[in-house]
Amino acid sequence: SLMGQLRNAARVYAGEGYPPSVVLARLMTIIEPTEMATVLFMIFDPAAWRIEFASAGHPPPLLATPDGTVTFLEGGSLPLGPMLNQTYRDMTVDVVPGSLLLLFTDGLVDDRNTTLEEGLRRLRDVVARANGADAETLADRIVSEIRTDATSSDDVALLVLRLAALDPERIHLHLPAIPSSLPTIRHAIRRWLAQTRMTEEDIYGVMVACCEACSNVIEHAYGLASGDVDVQAAFREHRIELTIRDSGTWTPPRGLYRGRGLQMIQALMDDVEVLHGDRGTTIRMQYQPQEVAR
């Protein structure tokens, strides 16, 4: 489907580090002359506490801050479509810890009995009343209050994010074991490590070891089947501890952390342990940085 193609292409372009406006421009090249689609592409930088987005005809994101302010983030352009010959611009918004961010399709707020403007107003009111709720509770409440007797035939997609500060003591990532997950893992681990006073050399070494272990999972753990990679990192007693888990079978001779990948990890880390079991493989790593302060 067109949406599947756009989604997969967006993952690739995101992994290459392009800004949102460039991602949308590149997505334009895969759309047929008779096709059209709305797309919102957004990047959240937890280190700078900033979101950057570009919108192609999509409903505006909604931002709710801890002080009760609820705002739609305007700045969109026309939908993607070769016949529209549209250019896109990046919008940047600073956010604070504890904020709520909502991304949604027009099927949530637009139906035969409600105008888009009225649907957006109702959504804003629901969020304003329940701003303190957790993301899952708020999502359920939005759907139950806004989609009552809805007559729209459009599919509904709703993503609710509570923007929390990185825990300085630990980080936990659970992602699909696919190549496009690697940039997310790499960026998240780097930003978490950046909270310390580790040298850039130490940060790079830990990040490379982590990504090498995750690459092994993605390449070897599941074969043709799908699966996940679980990454946990913790700062304990001036040491960095990394644990990477999978639930794959690692059928020989394709994996089992053999070869130069494991040798690289062992060269970068102080201690490495690989555990194999019926429910998957776990690799545990420890590293004592040259300089760390919290």
31 band by pLDDT with thresholds 50, 70 and 90: confident
For residue 106, give Cα distances in angstroms to 59, 160, 238, 278.
6, 15, 49, 45
pLDDT score at 142: 93
Token pair listed for 140: 């359920």
What is the model's pLDDT at position 251?
A: 63
pLDDT at residue 258 is higher than 80: no
CATH fold for the domain made of 2-162: Phosphatase 2c; domain 1 (3.60.40)
Strand-by-strand arrangement of the 50-56 sheet:
39-45, 50-56, 91-94
Q: Which amino acid is at 105?
A: T
| Segment 260-281, tens digit of pLDDT | 788 999 999 999 999 988 899 9
Q: Please state, in angstroms and rounded to a whole number, the distance separating the CA atoms of residues 261 and 248.
A: 18
CATH node for 170-287? 3.30.565.10
Find the Cα–Cα–Cα–Cα dihedral 201, 207, 208, 211, rounded to 10°. 180
**Range(s) for CATH 3.60.40.10 in the chain?**
2-162
The pLDDT of residue 256:
47
Tokens of 115: 């105008």
Least confident range of 31-35, 48-52, 118-122, 127-131 = 31-35
- The Cα 95–Cα 46 span in angstroms is 9
pLDDT band at 257 (very low <50, low <70, confident <90, very high): low
- Could you tell me whether strands 50-56 and 100-104 are parallel, antiparallel, or unpaired per DSSP bridges? unpaired
* pTM strictly above 0.85: no
Who wins on pLDDT, 196 or 148?
Answer: 196
pLDDT surpassing 50 at residue 60: yes
Residue-wise burial string across 35-60, b where 16 or more C-beta atoms lie within 10 A, e elsewhere: ebbbbbbbbeebeeeebbbbbbbbbb
Binned at pLDDT 50, 70 and 90, residue 254 comes out as: very low
